[in-house]
Structures are given as C-alpha cells and as structure tokens.
Structure 1
Amino acid sequence: MREKLGILVCIWAVLLCGSCLGRFVVEKNSLKVTSPGTLKGVYECAIGNFGVPQYGGTLVGTVVYPQSNQKACKSFDDFGVSFKSKPGHLPVFVLADRGDCFFTLKAWNAQNGGAAAILVADDRPEPLITMDTPEEENADADYVQNITIPSALISKSLGDSIKKALSDKDMVNINLDWTEALPHPDERVEYELWTNSNDECGPKCDSQIEFVKSFKGAAQILERKGYTQFTPHYITWYCPESFLLSKQCKSQCINHGRYCAPDPEQDFSRGYDGKDVVIQNLRQACVFKVSNESGKPWLWWDYVTDFAIRCPMKEKKYNEECANQVIKSLGIDLKEIQSCVGDPEADKDNPVLRAEQAAQLLNCMCMPFPNACFNWFLGKLDRGAVLKAICSGFQETTEPAICLTEDVETNECLENNGGCWQDKAANITACQDTFRGRVCECPIVQGVKFVGDGYTHCQASGPLRCEINNGGCWKKSQDGKAYSACIDDHTKGCQCPQGFKGDGVNSCEDVDECKEKIACQCSDCKCKNTWGSYECSCNSGSIYMLEHDTCISTVETSTRLGLGGVLFIIICLAAVGVGAYAVYKYRIRNYMDSEIRAIMAQYMPLDNQGEIPSHVSHGNI
C-alpha cells in the first residue's frame, strides 16, 4: 500500500513556475447519514488538513446547528453554548457555515465548545476542496497545532438538507468513516514525507522540524524491522531559459537554472539564498540515498534532526562545513555524499534532483500564483496521528507492537553512540535515550556537571571536575612522579604544568630546559634534563648556588674561611685579655688605696681630715 504524508513546504515567485504540470488530488472519505430516513445514505466529504482524523476507523455522532454564531468564527462561550455530550448520548458534530474566517478557527471554536467533530457546509455549489491551514502572514497559527477534533467539508446541498431536517425537529445522526481514506492494508506500509531543509519559513517550518524530531523514534523502529518503507522528497523548480541570466535565477538556482528554491528571506539580498536551500535539500536526499544503499535508511532521521539542531540559519551555521560534521558523527560515508551532491555549478542534470522533479510531477499541485506544491497528510502533523495513519495500513493481527502502545522506546545510543560525544575511557556519554529518540546533552556524573554542545565535546566543570577522568585533561606518571594538566577552573581549560608544553588535553611534552637554555647558564655549570624538571651541578670541588646561578669552589672557600676565623678568634681573645687585665688593675689599685688611707688615718691626719683639737686643763697649772 502507499500512504502520502506531507506538509506545505514552500512558496515561490511566479517567475519560476513556468508551465507547472501535475495533479492535485483531494483526499475524501465517506460520510454516512443513518437518520432521519429521508437523508439516509452515503455522501462524499473532504477531509480537513488539520485536526486528528480517525484513520482506519469510524466516529458516530449527532449533528447540532447552532442558532447563533453559525459560521463558528467566534467563541461559543460568548453565546453560552456548549456541545459537550451528556452521559449515554452520542458525541456532538457541529454544523457550521463556510465563510468569514479560517477553517481552522471554526474547528478550534467548535473544539473549545465541546464538539467531537465539525462539519463545514459549503456556501456555493462547487467541487469539494481540502480545507487547509491559513497561509496569511498575520494569521495566528499557534492554536492550529492544538486542534484535535476531525473536520470535513460537505457540499452545499447536503448542508441545506441537514439544516432542513433539524428545523423539522428531526435528529440527524452521522457516521464519519475513514476506512476507505487509505488503500487496503497489507504487510508493509510505504509512505513519503515531502519536506524542506529551510528552517526560517515560520510556523510551518517549526511544525515540520518538531514533527521529524518527535516521530523519529517510531519511524526508525518501523524501518529497522521492515514494517515500512519510507522515502523523503524535496521540491524544486526550474528557471525558464529566458531568465537564466537574471539575478533571481542566479541566486536561487543551481546547475544552470535546472533546480531552484525560493529565497528564505524573500529579499534576494541578505542572508541565505535559494540555492543554499537547494544544495542542502540535495545533501539530505543524498544522505537518504547513501544510507538506504548501505541498508540503514533510518539514518536520514538522525541527520535531519541533528542538522536542524546544530546548523540553524539563525546561527549562521547552515552550511556545508556544519553538515559534514553531522554526517561524520553518524558514521555515514562523507565521500559518497559529496559524490552524490556533485558540482552545483555544473551545466548538467543531477540524477537525484532530476528524480525528485519527476516524483514531484506525480504528487504535487502547482498553482499560478502564489506557486505552491503540496503533498497532503490529511490531519495534524503529529506523531500520534501519523503513527495511527501508518498503523491502519496493516492487516489486523499483523501490525507491529509499536502500533499497540502509546509510547515508543528505542535505544539509539547503542549504535555509534547515537552520534553524540562520549569518553570511552571513563564510560561517559552525552547520548540520552527517550521514547522520541535520542538527544545529545552533556551529562552530570557524580555531582560533576559537564558542559558543551553534546555532539563534539563535553567538559567537566566545577571544583570536583578533576575527580572525573581528570577533567578530560592530560595526566601521566613516570620515574616515580605524576603530573596533571587539570585545574579546577574549567573556563581556563586544561593547562600543562610547569616543565611541560602542549594542549593539555591530548598531550603535554617535557620541556628540555637544558637545550632551551632556561637554567644552568653559568660557564662552569652542568645541566641535566629530567622529566618535568632539570638538575644543575658543577665540577668537582665546586657547589651550585641556585639563587645566583653560579658555581663556587669548596677548597678556596674553606681555606679562606679557616684563616680568617683563627685571626678573628685571636684578636677577640687578646681584646678580652687586655680588657680583663685593665679591670683587674683598676680594682686592685682602688682597694690598696683605700686600705693604706685607713691605716695612715690612725696615726696622722690626712690632707682631707681636719686638725685634731687639743684638750687643756685649767685646774692644774
């Protein structure tokens, strides 16, 4: 069987459409009216390109045509109306008239009002068209991604008939049937995604990127086990021959106007050009081609998601260099990719893009202005909705287990570490497996946080970083010594210790201080290099003085110091002796003087004594 999944991928100037061939297929499903009897029968309706259709199933409900807000362009809460079904009653299908606002806004208001589905009655007799999401630049598309109820456009005649039956107080019950919306199931589902590498086209690009990221895990499980055959496609245009020399064609096309894409900024002057988008689209198509030929087509999902993360236009990384880094990280043969891409300046066909244009003619519609190519996925581009659509393509009891579970778990980190950074020596990896596929985020190990992009490098940070694999820095032991280039401040990276030189990560080489004349530069010095340091010595009979970087003779020094020392001691002793003798003589002399003076004082007056008075007696004459 074959299912078509896709989104609006690009808008192009009228100049590049030329004579657009192809066909526009409106996917339709069945609408069966079960009551009243006057309306019983099967009618045709067109599935809306938003919401979540019940692929492979049916939904039964009763129709309500509101008395006010009949075009559903305003919130039903403003009118006090609720469509929530009561216990034991059928779900409510809101019937709304076409006009005045977007189809998506009608569905959003009906959903918020409690409706299980919305039927939009056409306002004129005409062939049914698929209801699409709004394209206007000022349209608020945020709510579109949150629409979950199915929607369908019905003919004006059926709408009028339902309104008449309701006005006659008849109950109108309808069965929406999606079983015929897909080809009959078999053992393998083939599906396609029409996509684009441009990431600056607004909400649609954001929705596409998010879908690829979320659906990747499921897609890879289905592809690995052979349940599905997936093919990505990319849309290009050709430049009419009369415009080949124009500025527009030169900046938007490759291979001399054969393959073109619109300018991302639509200004033909700043930022990236259309040809940049074409080349990247071609590179992604070649990744699928090479991976598919090697038996690993699921690698396309890894490349596209990683490129969107690592090489966005906003960061000016949307280029070949960044793309090649992603390709290498996934283990894909880069030379084969480059050979597949070929020379964008060559005046010849590129086989891959030529095949894409051929597929485009069979699957796309091209309108005069604005030119747009579509491949419809009928419903919200959501992982669950798309997975359900794919699973409805399998025969009962033959569907894979993933179709019977809500969440998908696949450990992509087991193969090539998911293309993420890893330190095999320390058994540390940035690859984290989730049910949506793997993500590359630097880990936290034993309380130590690693920082980096998760793809090419992660580095331990914080004061404990040297405890984890030495912080990813160089470390070595030799001759009983150990040196490390790890420092606590990770912002300074890894720095080789003193005595070494290098990047500090992969290597630190010993510096030969002797050869580079860093030390031991005196004429009598001898230098010996050691691992991480050096040793200085002198000839026999000399010692090395580090602070003066010089050699001093030990013989002359000892002799000179000995004679001087003896002479100094003799002089000191002589001085002490003379001083002692002088003190001794001084004290003896003072003692002798005092004794003699005392003796003589007994017999005669001394000069310093007064005359001794005589005693005369007047009583005896």
Structure 2
Amino acid sequence: MREKLGILVCVLVFVSWSSCVVGRFVVEKNSLKVTSPNPLKGVYECAIGNFGVPQYGGTLVGTVVYPQANQKACKNFEDFSVSFKSKPGGLPTFLLADRGDCFFTLKAWNAQNGGAAAILVADDKFEPLITMDNPEEENADADYLQKITIPSALISKSLGDSIRKALSDKDMVNIKLDWTEALPHPDERVEYELWTNSNDECGPKCDSQIEFAKSFKGAAQILERKGYTQFTPHYITWYCPEAFLVSKQCKSQCINHGRYCAPDPEQDFSRGYDGKDVVIQNLRQACFFKVANESGKPWLWWDYVTDFGIRCPMKEKKYNEECANKVIESLGVDLKNIQSCVGDPGADKENPVLKAEQDAQIGKGSRGDVTILPTLVINQRQYRGKLDKGAVLKAICSGFQETTEPAICLSEDVETNECLENNGGCWQDKTANITACQDTFRGRVCECPIVQGVKFVGDGYTHCQASGPLRCEINNGGCWKQTQNGKTYSACVDDHTKGCNCPPGFKGDGVNSCEDINECKEKVACQCSDCKCKNTWGSYDCSCNGGSIYMQEHDTCISATVESSVRLSMGGIFFIILCLAAVGVCAYAVYKYRIRRYMDSEIRAIMAQYMPLDNQGEIPTHVSHGNI
C-alpha cells in the first residue's frame, strides 16, 4: 500500500519521540448526506483529505459517477476519453474511486483534470477512517501537489460498496458534502495556531509555507489588529534519548543537551546547516512572538517570518543570528528581551519556551496530537487541506459565529452574497430600505434587524415590526401616517404593545390605512336642534343658527344676548366682591392701628411708675435726717 496515512512516523533519524507511543492523532471529518436513492438516504461520516480545498463553512451537492475503466483513478482519464464535466444546468460530478495502487493525491489530480468537482475514495477494507495525506518526502516534489483544488474525502468500504451497487442498478446517487460544522464556531473571535518551521531547505513543502506566510500576512494582520482573531505560532521539536546524547547525530541536531532537536535540513550531516541551527531559529521566532505579543503587537510575527525568509535564506548562507538580529531591529522589537528569551542553547537545562512547545504538541480536548508539518489548528480543530490563502481564510471565517464575521469574510473573493438575489427570501421594507436578510459566511440569515437603536421583531421571513422606545422614528413604526392641509396624523404609538391604532377621528387597521370619520354623518357630534355640523379631516366644526354661540362642553347653542347678560351679571358680582375685599382690608388696618395705640399707652403708664419719662417733671427726692 503506497498511500501515506495522516500519521507522521515518529522517528528523527534514529531519535524516537516517546510521546508517539501514547499519541492521539485525530481524523478530522465532515458530513456526507445521501439524498437519493431512498434505500441509501442518510447521513454518513467521511474523512477530510489533507490536500485540495475543503469548502469549510459551506456545502457542495453533486451526483456520483463510478468510471467503467481506471476505477482507481491512477491514470489520466483523457487516455480513456472520459470527461466528468457537468453539463449546463446539471449537478456537479463527484468521482468515486477505489483505494490502492497510487497516491491519494494522484487520484485527486486525475479526477480534477477529468472535470470532477470532488473525489470520494472508497476504502478497500473495513477499518476506522484515516486521513489521506500528501506523499512521503521523497515524492513530495511532484509539481501537481499544490495545484489540487477540488475537495476530497475518504469513505468507508461499506458505503462505497452500497454506492457502487446502486449505480449498477441504474439508480442516480446524489450526495451533499457538508463542511458547515467541520469547524466549531462558538463566538465572535477565532483562535487559531500555525505549527510551522523556519527551515527553508525541505523542498516544496517548505516553499509552500514561506509563500503562504507572504500571501496570508495582510489578511492575518487585519484580523489580529481589529481583535477578530487570536493567533499563536508553534514549532515542533523532538528530544534525543539519553543513550545517544554523545552521538554525532544528536550533537548536530539538538540543543540544551539533547532536549530539543530538529531534522538536518539537507538530511546530510556532513554539509550545510545542522538541525540545531533550525531549532535555534525556531526558538528565536517563538521568542519574537512572545515579546511582540507582550508589547501588544503580536501581528509583527508575520512581518518577521516573511522578512527573515527573504533576507536570510539558507541558500545564500545567511540563515544565522546576525541576519536575524538585523530583521528584528528593523521591526523595532526589543532585541535584548528576545536574546534573554532564547537563553543559552548549550546549557544543560530546560528552555521554558521550547518546553511549553513540546507540551502543546500533545492533543487536548477535541484537538489531536500535532504530528504533521505544517498544521493549522482553528478553534481547537486541525485544518485539513492545502496551505493556501483563500482556503485558509475560508476556514478561519467558518470559525466565526453567524452574523459576527468581519467584512473580509464577506468579500466577493470568499463568499457569495445571497441577499442580493430576491433579498434572500427574507422580509423587506423597500420604502425605508430595511431588510431582515443578513449575509453570513455560511449563507443568508433571515433575522429582524436593529436600525438606529430600534429593534425590529418578527419571524424575519414575512413580518418584522419596530418595537420599543423611538420605534415611531423608523418608518413610523410601520404604521399609517398622512399629512393634509398642514395637519399630520399618525397611527404609531411608541409602546409597541399597542401596535398601530388609528388616531381619534379616524378608523381603519392603522397599518395600511386610516379613513376619516364623518362625525356629522354618523351623528356623533353637534346633536342640538340649532347646531350646524361641518366635517373636517380628522375632526369637525360646529356652529349655531341666528348668531347663537356653540358651547362644546354642553353640545348646545345659546343666544348672544343671554351671553351678554351673563357677562354683565358676572361683572357686577365681581365688582361687589372687589368692594367687600377693600372694606375688609380697611377695617383690618383700623383695627391694627387702635390696638397698637392702646398697647403703647399701657406700656408707658407702667414704665412711668419706675423711671421718669422725657415728658414728665422731675420728682423731688425725700431724705430723712432723723435718728434711726
């Protein structure tokens, strides 16, 4: 069997990694739904291939074709004069191929060239699903590997047998591949990490990593700067068993006395750079991110790795500390902090950063062990597919909760705006230019909107109504409103529980119309015998015959003379009241004056008995000269 399974052989030349013994590699899956024929209807699991472009966050519907020749898809289908291109108006074609005889990637490449929209590889034995991966390193230089764009999936032997049986019975097999739940999307922020390597001499795989960093840098920095994502880079290292610490291989590939090792870049110990050079540069990149992140600028990591790849390549013998330091200084990051973080590679002790990296390789929760380079992990799920800007951006965008995606996820290059056609089948108020259709990465959502702080409520499909305070400010709350002769009437009330009610003087549903009530015709006003009624828009006017005056409170007419006499009598009464008030004021003043004079005379009389007053003569003093 020549296909490569999705598990990295845990051998570094002769150095084994003990955690591989207990490692847990997770096969990432998506949903496969058979919609016809009836006996096959149901939902099945399929394993996402580690190449091509899975449609994360989306779906793909097609009809299955099983070729009469070249059933393992190891040869070019043009040699058999076979085409799988769908005809106009027809469903895309999913090629069903048998496992065996050639690489999974070659099967996918031949299916793509034949016009298939996706390839389903049926397993040849009953076993748990595996991850289809790229070929081994010695075959990884095939130029077609980075050109595969169709999604691929491995299905079980039993499902493959059932599909073949249905097709042989002339039944049409329709399948829906669904990646909408392939990645979790719990909230408004996506957390993702990239397990990568600073090595640039490992062939096409290293080249693709460097190109990905260059192309994805702009999108990654936009997402990170605005807080939409939280990105963390990681680096895989191994350790050297104690029995081989003194060997030439361990000394050339490891630092910190065999604790952290990487493969030799050229797989040749006698020339070029050693594995320990790669480990040190990996550590420097990890420390750069740590320091940049602590300074609040984690996105500078993308600048560093791309600039280092351009300015310090192995091919030009510039892959060293001196060149790295120049790049660091050009980006304004504290070099001393990075050097302190890197520490002494020759010390016989653990490096905290690399120790944390080794611990992080072990899978936790839904994420399995990281054993393949490169590996992208999004919301704790390992991404499957090629490392391509568009494909990765789609995967990251599928990690956002619906309606919270940033604008970059809703661009034409990433997804189609379904609200542009027939408003997505959602409610719409064309007059106020308000719609319940919200474009999301996974498709449109019919959800009543919030406009200028006013929340609309309803099912989002047939009805949305403004509610709460200020609801009448938005399209008058969806209620009737009209202006005539300078007067405006509205059926909207701020309290949404009252809905739309026609104002007094009108009748109707309050939404589509309110008709003026003719109070005169319906005899609801001006009922007195002498009254004359004239209807107005929204109200009425009453008048009386013979110069009489209409009293609205009593709905009656009174003569003008009666009104005048009433006015005169009222004036007389007012005059009498005024006079009485004046007499009362004067009497009170006289009373106060008399009381005051009486009190003054009494006080003067009392005081006169004890002391002379200014207006009295001197009272003679009597002195006794007699004996005591």
Moved more, 270-279 or 179-188: 179-188
Secondary structure in 2 aligned to 1:190? Answer: strand
Q: Is the 8 A contact 2:362 2:368 kept in 1?
A: yes
1:145 maps to amino acid: Q
Which residue does the alignment assign to 1:239? 240
2:13 maps to amino acid: A
Which residue does the alignment assign to 1:12? 12
Q: How far off is 1:348 after superposition?
A: 1.0
Q: How far off is 1:243 after superposition?
A: 1.3
Q: Is the 8 A contact 1:7 1:377 kept in 2?
A: no
Secondary structure in 1 aligned to 2:62? Answer: strand
Q: Aligned partners of 2:185 and 2:341: how far apart in 1?
A: 36
Q: Is the 8 A contact 2:196 2:373 kept in 1?
A: no
Q: Aligned partners of 2:396 and 2:303: how far apart in 1?
A: 20
Q: Is the 8 A contact 1:235 1:373 kept in 2?
A: no
2:279 maps to amino acid: V
Q: How big is each residue's C-alpha offset from its partner over 1:380-417, in whole Å with a ceiling of 9 and x where there is no partner?
A: 21000000111111122211111122569xxxxxxxxx
Is 2:133 the counterpart of 1:127?
no
**Distance change >3 Å, CA 7–CA 245, structure 1 → 2:** same
Which residue does the alignment assign to 1:398? 404
Secondary structure in 2 aligned to 1:31? Answer: strand
Which residue does the alignment assign to 2:273? 272
1:72 maps to amino acid: A
**Distance change >3 Å, CA 48–CA 366, structure 1 → 2:** closer
Which residue does the alignment assign to 1:22? 23
Q: Aligned partners of 2:100 and 2:140: how far apart in 1?
A: 16
Which residue does the alignment assign to 1:381? 387
Q: How far off is 1:14 after superposition?
A: 3.3
Greater than 3 Å deviation, 4+ residue runs: 6-11, 363-367, 371-376
Pairs within 5 Å for 1:25-36: 25-36=26-37
Which residue does the alignment assign to 1:283? 284
Q: Is the 8 A contact 1:134 1:141 kept in 2?
A: no
Pairs within 5 Å for 1:87-236: 87-236=88-237
Q: Aligned partners of 2:49 and 2:14: how far apart in 1?
A: 27
**Distance change >3 Å, CA 407–CA 184, structure 1 → 2:** closer
**Distance change >3 Å, CA 101–CA 185, structure 1 → 2:** same
Q: Aligned partners of 2:140 and 2:326: how far apart in 1?
A: 37
Q: Aligned partners of 1:199 and 1:9: how far apart in 2?
A: 21
Segments of structure 1 that go 5 or more residues without pairing to the other structure are 1-5, 409-621
**Distance change >3 Å, CA 183–CA 78, structure 1 → 2:** same
Q: Is the 8 A contact 1:8 1:204 kept in 2?
A: no
Q: How far off is 1:377 after superposition?
A: 2.6
Q: Is the 8 A contact 1:365 1:373 kept in 2?
A: no
When the two structures are superposed, what TM-score results if normalisation uses the length of structure 1?
A: 0.62
Structure number with greater CO (CA < 8 Å, separation at least 6) is 1
Higher CA-based Rg: 1
Q: Is the 8 A contact 1:125 1:156 kept in 2?
A: yes
Q: Is the 8 A contact 1:365 1:374 kept in 2?
A: no
Q: Aligned partners of 1:126 and 1:267: how far apart in 2?
A: 38
Q: How big is each residue's C-alpha offset from its partner over 1:64-120, in whole Å with a ceiling of 9 and x where there is no partner?
A: 001011111111111111111111211110000011111111111111111110100
1:217 maps to amino acid: G
Segments of structure 2 that go 5 or more residues without pairing to the other structure are 1-5, 377-381, 415-628
Is 2:260 the counterpart of 1:259?
yes
1:142 maps to amino acid: D
Q: Aligned partners of 1:377 and 1:220: how far apart in 2?
A: 20
Q: How big is each residue's C-alpha offset from its partner over 1:294-351, in whole Å with a ceiling of 9 and x where there is no partner?
A: 0000000000000000000010000000000000001111011001001111111111
Q: How big is each residue's C-alpha offset from its partner over 1:413-449, in whole Å with a ceiling of 9 and x where there is no partner?
A: xxxxxxxxxxxxxxxxxxxxxxxxxxxxxxxxxxxxx
Which residue does the alignment assign to 1:48? 49
Which residue does the alignment assign to 1:336? 337
Q: How far off is 1:11 after superposition?
A: 7.0
Q: Is the 8 A contact 1:9 1:194 kept in 2?
A: no
Q: How far off is 1:19 after superposition?
A: 4.8
Q: Aligned partners of 2:10 and 2:409: how far apart in 1?
A: 32
1:390 maps to amino acid: I
Q: Aligned partners of 1:8 and 1:194: how far apart in 2?
A: 14
1:77 maps to amino acid: E
Pairs within 5 Å for 1:534-573: none
Q: How big is each residue's C-alpha offset from its partner over 1:223-250, in whole Å with a ceiling of 9 and x where there is no partner?
A: 0000000000000111111111111111
Q: Aligned partners of 1:114 and 1:264: how far apart in 2?
A: 38
Q: How far off is 1:12 after superposition?
A: 2.1
Which residue does the alignment assign to 1:321? 322
How many residue pairs end up in the alignment? 400
Q: Aligned partners of 2:282 and 2:344: how far apart in 1?
A: 14
Q: Aligned partners of 2:88 and 2:280: how far apart in 1?
A: 57
Q: Aligned partners of 1:372 and 1:196: how far apart in 2?
A: 8
Which residue does the alignment assign to 1:77? 78
Q: Is the 8 A contact 2:361 2:370 kept in 1?
A: no
1:226 maps to amino acid: G
2:174 maps to amino acid: N
**Distance change >3 Å, CA 323–CA 136, structure 1 → 2:** closer
Q: Is the 8 A contact 2:253 2:274 kept in 1?
A: yes
Which residue does the alignment assign to 2:58? 57
Secondary structure in 1 aligned to 2:96? Answer: strand
Q: How far off is 1:141 after superposition?
A: 2.4
1:379 maps to amino acid: G
Which residue does the alignment assign to 2:418? none
Q: Aligned partners of 1:238 and 1:124: how far apart in 2?
A: 36
**Distance change >3 Å, CA 372–CA 388, structure 1 → 2:** closer
Q: Aligned partners of 1:219 and 1:406: how far apart in 2?
A: 18
Which residue does the alignment assign to 1:482? none
Q: Is the 8 A contact 2:112 2:118 kept in 1?
A: yes
Q: Aligned partners of 1:315 and 1:75: how far apart in 2?
A: 39
For the aligned residues, what is the CA RMSD? Answer: 2.1
Secondary structure in 1 aligned to 2:138? Answer: coil
Q: Is the 8 A contact 2:29 2:45 kept in 1?
A: yes
Q: Aligned partners of 2:78 and 2:43: how far apart in 1?
A: 33
Secondary structure in 1 aligned to 2:293? Answer: helix
Q: Aligned partners of 1:162 and 1:74: how far apart in 2?
A: 22
Q: Is the 8 A contact 1:244 1:256 kept in 2?
A: yes
Q: Aligned partners of 2:201 and 2:7: how far apart in 1?
A: 15
Secondary structure in 1 aligned to 2:263? Answer: coil
Q: How big is each residue's C-alpha offset from its partner over 1:452-506, in whole Å with a ceiling of 9 and x where there is no partner?
A: xxxxxxxxxxxxxxxxxxxxxxxxxxxxxxxxxxxxxxxxxxxxxxxxxxxxxxx
Q: How far off is 1:374 after superposition?
A: 5.8
